[in-house]
Amino acid sequence: MTEGSRRPALLTEEQAAKTLGMTARFLQARRNRGGGPPYIRVSARAIRYRATDLETWIESRRCRSTSEYRLQPGEPT
């Protein structure tokens, strides 16, 4: 944990999904297709996310109207 914070520096896939209000399956699909938040591969079976990366990813998807929305690379149409 970081000093002065209750949130771990690295979030598990389940914690990241909960933070985003999505499922772990959503994050898995985004890792395969692209267009999801950056992640860290700790080992072959351990994926982690930084809370700051999730916040940055959320902000990058912010829109004020439907005309502003642009598909991100790897997103289905």
At residue 66, the pLDDT reads 79
Q: What one-character DSSP code corresponds to residue 71?
A: P
**Which domains can be identified in the chain, with CATH numbers?**
10-63 (1.10.10)
Token duo for residue 67: 């005309």
- The SS3 of residue 38 is coil
pLDDT digits (tens, 9 = 90+) for 15-30: 999 999 999 999 999 9
Looking at the chain, the whole-number percentage of residues with pLDDT higher than 70 is: 77
| 5 vs 43 pLDDT, higher one | 43
At residue 63, the pLDDT reads 86
Alpha carbon separation from 51 to 18, 27, 64, 70 (Å, rounded): 12, 14, 24, 24
- Lowest average pLDDT, out of 23-27, 42-46, 73-77, goes to 73-77
Task: Judge contact between 61 and 72, C-beta under 8 A.
Answer: yes
